[in-house]
Amino acid sequence: MKRRTTKALSLLLASASILALLAGCGGGGGTAENSNSPAPSDSSAPSGETTYADTIVIGDNTEPKNLDPDQSWGAAEARFSCFVYEGLVREDADGNIIPLLATDWKISEDGTVYTFNLKPDVKFSDGTPVTGEDWIWSLERARDNPESNSRTVASNIVSIEAPDDATLVITLDSPVASFLANCCKWNMVVKSKAHYEAVGAEGFLTQPMGTGPYAVTEWKKGEYIQCVANEYYHVEGQPYTKNLTYKIITDDNTRLLQLQSGDIDIMGMVPVNMMAQIDSDPNLTAAAYTGSQIRFLVINCADEVTGKKEVRQALDYATDKQAIVDMVANGYGKPVSTYVSNIHGDLHNSELADRGPDIEKAKELLTQAGYPDGLTLKINITSGNTIYENIATVLQSQWAAAGISLEIEPLESGTLVESLGAGNYQLTILQWTDSTPDPSDISAYECRYSDSFQWYSGVQDQEIEDAYMATISETDPAKRAELFWTLQELVYERTNIVPLFQADWAYGYSSKIEGISVTPFNKINVAELKKAN
Amino acid sequence: MARLTYILKRILQMIPVLFVVIVLIFVMIRLIPGDPARLMLGETAVEADVEALREAMGLNEPYTTQFAIFFKNLLHFDFGNSLLYKTSCIDLVKERLPLTVSLTVVATLFSLLISIPLGFVAGLHKDKASDQAIRISALAAISMPTFWVGLLLMIAFSVKIRIFPAGGWGTTPLEHLQGLILPGIAQALMTAALLMRNLRNSVVDISRMDYVDFAVSKGVSTRRVRSAYIMKNSLISTITLLSTRITYMLGGSVVIETVFSLPGCGKLLVDAIFARDYAMVQCMVFIFALIVLLVSLITDIIYSFIDPRITL
């Protein structure tokens, strides 16, 4: 009997010691520079001077599907691509358009010809100079590649000419007021034609070649993308840090643990309920940046009940948007009353105000619509999305005061999208993040029936559609602002969407990081990042 | 010789099973509402672009044509290109399969290491203190959700006491092993508990058998009674349970892979289903089905070695 137990115990002990041995080998996770991340160690500093690390690790929650800007991209791809690819112009931290590879530009009287003066001596990360031919090929591909989901920004381009390597002339088929903003989009970047010809279409998906501050050296699918500084970068002295590792850690808790243990230096896409924890850690900094991401209550105007404007407006009156910001976004955001974000400056209609919370007015409108004793509505949201679920729950309790009983039905995302397209819903919650510094994208989605059924409203409002069409070609900024204000008033009146709140981008990073800033489109300025030792 | 014929026969039998699996998954994934083109371009894409993409992906063809194309390519082991990643499905799976399989192997080893000794001790000392303690810990292990255990292990051994990496797999085989230890333990816990209970009950039953009494009264040493008479016989039902648990661990690996940021197949499959990536789902389900069939074949062969009553 004793020997049996001893044997069992010794087996357990043996395995435990093997484990310990393995853990000990190779240093394990002991040092801050985790042996799992392929980064060289940092240099040691003589006392008194601040020296900087030669590697920074960024942790994100979604892996880019591919690195070819002319494919179907989403937010995850856009976040990474700005490290590698650049275009003529870009947006700054306030959402204004500033020069990047173009130094200045002239627009013709009729608004159809754009002449860009290009920065001289710009090279790709392999040292080859950027030529006019690269620009022409890149922008034509942005316009023509059928796999791309961003072709519309370039669809008005009729011809592109490069009379010399320092000038680019783009001719449009009609005046498009948002064209300069469209040039900030992730696909309007210069790609190396020679490189594409060398690696082929499939190679181009994983081996990008651009003029950005970093170049991709290794992509281990599902784990990380390793980048090294572009030695030919056109801004003297930048990027400040030699190596950049873009680690993909899907689980939010794991990503936070890695930030706390020092395995990653910058954590993106931080769930707002973790910000307090990051803030209280003396080695970490929690920072929120103004974002262009707005969440909307989307209403079906073809439905028997929600088709009545009084009902829709009643919902707006019954909603307390500040409470939603406080409870769902932990205060990291602000309520919005119009669908155009305030980062668009003069085009944002600042006179429109929140209707709610005004329960009495909501009840009045419901009575007018024929529901004096309240009514039951159903909201379908994407399952698994905690933010949408929280918003729906808050709305449910707010609307109960006005006699509206809300049923919440989560649906799997693929199924939900199908129901929306078929008009098979009453209410849903969706979000929009601008990717260009102009409201033309979101306006097209809200106002063009053929694009999206006017944001799944199911009923074509011709007045709104015409008002939108007028903004496309109006090149005078003052007149365009007036047109946009009118358009926003019309949408505000129609209430087929209720803008709820604009969310900040939440980041957590090591206190040793210097020089970090994030644009409203969630792009980190990697060229200026430094990490003190 | 008989064994070899048996193995060959079983491998041939796999083919019709796999065919049925293929047809089922082909039909089922297309019956679920949700259009891959629309999901790829996003909620905010225009109808015209979605339609163009559907056309380009060949989704507008009749199902029979789609199946014919798919089956023809299948014979060359070509599962087509993933709609999401645009590269060959089989290549993507080949990259990630080693991790999922290694994780399952490590988890199986851990569960055996934990459950066999403890199961024996519990069974042999029935109703004594050690038995009670082991059974209570088994119950606790079954009640804890895997992802929670994973996170706890990570907090304890990667952040507080820095022995293991906080997620990730590393580059060298040694780092691979280190990266799989915590996930392996988390994954193994429930299986270990179930195996332990099963083994304990087996041991208790077998200890009561007549032939054990006879062996003891014959004067066979306790050690030999335990190893030759009790151990061998109790393992059979445990091995059956283990084989079903391996299947479960293989399919349920997505949770652990997400928590520990391991680039395995589980996450690939789940993402493919959500995106309605038909080609990838078909490829992965086929491969998983193949693995499950192989595991059950190996289990049957092991039976024949352990139990001489079983002839193949």
Residue appearing with tokens 């969630």: A522
pLDDT digits (tens, 9 = 90+) for B138-175: 999 999 999 899 999 998 998 888 888 887 787 888 88
Confidence of residue B102 (pLDDT cuts 50, 70, 90): very high
pLDDT value at residue A41 = 43
Structure tokens at B86: 């645009």
Put simply, the chain B residues between 258 and 297 with a CB less than 8 A from any chain A CB are 258-264, 267-268, 274-276
- Spatial distance between the Cα atoms of B26 and B279, rounded to a whole number of angstroms: 9
A29 and B166 in contact by Cβ < 8 A? yes
pLDDT value at residue A245 = 96
SS3 A11: helix
Q: What are phi and psi of A134, to 5 degrees?
A: -60, -45
pLDDT value at residue B56 = 79
Query: Which of the residue ranges A206-210, A339-343, A383-387, A486-490 would you say has the lowest mean pLDDT?
Result: A383-387
Length of chain A equals 533
ipTM: 0.77
Closest partner residue to B163 (CB to CB) among A29, A222, A420 is A29
pLDDT value at residue A47 = 55
> Would you say residue A40 has pLDDT above 50?
no
B44 and A258 in contact by Cβ < 8 A? no
Structure tokens at A241: 């840090």
- As a whole number, mean pLDDT of residues A429-452 equals 90
Tell me the pairing of strands A427-433 and A404-411: unpaired
How far is C-alpha B271 from the geometric centre of its chain's CA atoms? Answer: 18
Structure tokens at A136: 């022409």
> Would you say residue B39 has pLDDT above 60?
yes
Closest partner residue to A22 (CB to CB) among B120, B171, B177 is B177
Structure tokens at A417: 């999208």
> Would you say residue A99 has pLDDT above 90?
yes
pLDDT value at residue A15 = 66
B178 and A254 in contact by Cβ < 8 A? no
> Would you say residue B100 has pLDDT above 90?
yes
SS3 A423: coil
Give the chain A residue whose CA is nearest to the CA of B222.
A1
Confidence of residue B58 (pLDDT cuts 50, 70, 90): confident
Q: Which residues of A touch B38 (CB under 8 A)?
A: 417-418, 421
Task: Read off the pTM.
Answer: 0.83
A12 and B32 in contact by Cβ < 8 A? no
Closest partner residue to A251 (CB to CB) among B86, B181, B258 is B258
Burial category of B127 from C-beta neighbours within 10 Å (exposed 0-12, middle 13-18, buried 19 and up): exposed
User: Which 8-state DSSP code applies to residue A129?
Assistant: B
Q: Chain B: nearest CA to A34, how far in angstroms? A: 7
> Would you say residue A43 has pLDDT above 50?
no
- As a whole number, mean pLDDT of residues A463-472 equals 93
User: Which 8-state DSSP code applies to residue A35?
Assistant: T
Structure tokens at B112: 């055996």
pLDDT value at residue B229 = 82
> Would you say residue A39 has pLDDT above 60?
no
Put simply, the chain A residues between 256 and 285 with a CB less than 8 A from any chain B CB are 257-258, 260-261, 263
pLDDT value at residue A32 = 37
pLDDT value at residue A9 = 66
Mutation target to probe the B interface, by most B beta carbons within 10 A, among A205, A217, A258, A436 is: A258
- As a whole number, mean pLDDT of residues B94-109 equals 92
Residue appearing with tokens 């801004």: A235
Residue appearing with tokens 């040694």: B174
- Spatial distance between the Cα atoms of A318 and A312, rounded to a whole number of angstroms: 10
Confidence of residue B276 (pLDDT cuts 50, 70, 90): confident
> Would you say residue B38 has pLDDT above 90?
no
The closest of A293, A336, A509, A303 to A426, measured between CA atoms, is A303
Query: Is residue B265 within 8 Å of B100, Cβ to Cβ?
Result: yes
The closest of A203, A239, A202, A237 to A84, measured between CA atoms, is A239
- Partner A contacted by B51 (CB < 8 A): no
The closest of B278, B293, B289 to B80, measured between CA atoms, is B278
- Spatial distance between the Cα atoms of B248 and B158, rounded to a whole number of angstroms: 27
> Would you say residue A456 has pLDDT above 50?
yes
The closest of B109, B256, B270 to B191, measured between CA atoms, is B109
pLDDT value at residue A6 = 63
Confidence of residue A277 (pLDDT cuts 50, 70, 90): very high
pLDDT digits (tens, 9 = 90+) for A346-356: 999 999 998 87
Taking one residue from A and the other from B, the number of pairs with CB-CB distance under 8 angstroms is 188
The gap between the terminal CA atoms of chain B, to the nearest Å, is 10
B166 and A257 in contact by Cβ < 8 A? yes
Q: Chain B: nearest CA to A448, how far in angstroms? A: 9
| Secondary-structure percent of chain A, ordered helix, strand, coil, rounded to 5 | 35, 25, 40
Query: Which of the residue ranges A28-32, A446-450, B9-13 would you say has the lowest mean pLDDT?
Result: A28-32
> Would you say residue A79 has pLDDT above 90?
yes
Q: Which residues of A touch B165 (CB under 8 A)?
A: 28-29, 34-36, 263
Confidence of residue B34 (pLDDT cuts 50, 70, 90): confident
- As a whole number, mean pLDDT of residues A243-267 equals 92
Confidence of residue A33 (pLDDT cuts 50, 70, 90): very low
Q: Which residues of B touch A430 (CB under 8 A)?
A: 43
CA distance readout (Å), A41 to A34, A53, A59, A249: 10, 8, 18, 22
Return the ∠ at Cα B60 (arms to B54 and B62), rounded to 5°: 155
Return the ∠ at Cα B21 (arms to B16 and B25), rounded to 5°: 150
3-state secondary structure chain B: CHHHHHHHHHHHHHHHHHHHHHHHHHHHHHHCCCCHHHHHHCCCCCHHHHHHHHHHCCCCCCHHHHHHHHHHHHHCCCCCECCCCCCEHHHHHHHHHHHHHHHHHHHHHHHHHHHHHHHHHHHHCCCCHHHHHHHHHHHHHHHCCHHHHHHHHHHHHHHHCCCCCCCCCCCCHHHHHHHHHHHHHHHHHHHHHHHHHHHHHHHHHHHCCHHHHHHHHHCCCHHHHHHHHHHHHHHHHHHHHHHHHHHHHHHCHHHHHHHCCCCCHHHHHHHHHHCCCHHHHHHHHHHHHHHHHHHHHHHHHHHHHHCCCCCC
Closest partner residue to A72 (CB to CB) among B41, B117, B178 is B41
- As a whole number, mean pLDDT of residues A117-136 equals 94
SS3 A487: helix
Confidence of residue A7 (pLDDT cuts 50, 70, 90): low
- As a whole number, mean pLDDT of residues A61-85 equals 92
Structure tokens at B279: 């080609």
Q: Spell out the domain ranges in chain B.
A: 100-263
> Would you say residue A151 has pLDDT above 50?
yes
Give the chain A residue whose CA is nearest to the CA of B114.
A12
- Spatial distance between the Cα atoms of B23 and B66, rounded to a whole number of angstroms: 12
What is chain B's alpha carbon radius of gyration, rounded to the nearest angstrom?
24
SS3 A66: coil
- As a whole number, mean pLDDT of residues A517-528 equals 93
B117 and A221 in contact by Cβ < 8 A? no
